[in-house]
A and B are shown apart, each in its own frame.
Chain A
Amino acid sequence: AQSVTQLGSHVSVSEGALVLLRCNYSSSVPPYLFWYVQYPNQGLQLLLKYTSAATLVKGINGFEAEFKKSETSFHLTKPSAHMSDAAEYFCAVSEKGTSYGKLTFGQGTILTVHP
Chain B
Amino acid sequence: NAGVMQNPRHLVRRRGQEARLRCSPMKGHSHVYWYRQLPEEGLKFMVYLQKENIIDESGMPKERFSAEFPKEGPSILRIQQVVRGDSAAYFCASSPDRDTEAFFGQGTRLTVV
Contact = CB atoms under 8 A, between A and B. Distances in A.
A101 B43 contact: no
B100 A46 contact: no
Interface size class of B (residues with CB under 8 A): 20 to 34
A43 B104 contact: yes
Interface stretch (B13-21, B62-70, B74-82, B90-98): B90-98
Contact of B104 (A45, A104, A107, A108): A45
The interface residues of chain A, by DSSP majority, are classed as loop
Contacts of A101: 31, 33, 48, 93-95, 98, 101-102
Interface range for A: 20 to 34
Interface of B: 4, 31, 33, 35, 41-45, 48, 55-56, 91, 93-95, 98-107
Interface of A: 34, 36, 41-46, 49, 90, 98-108
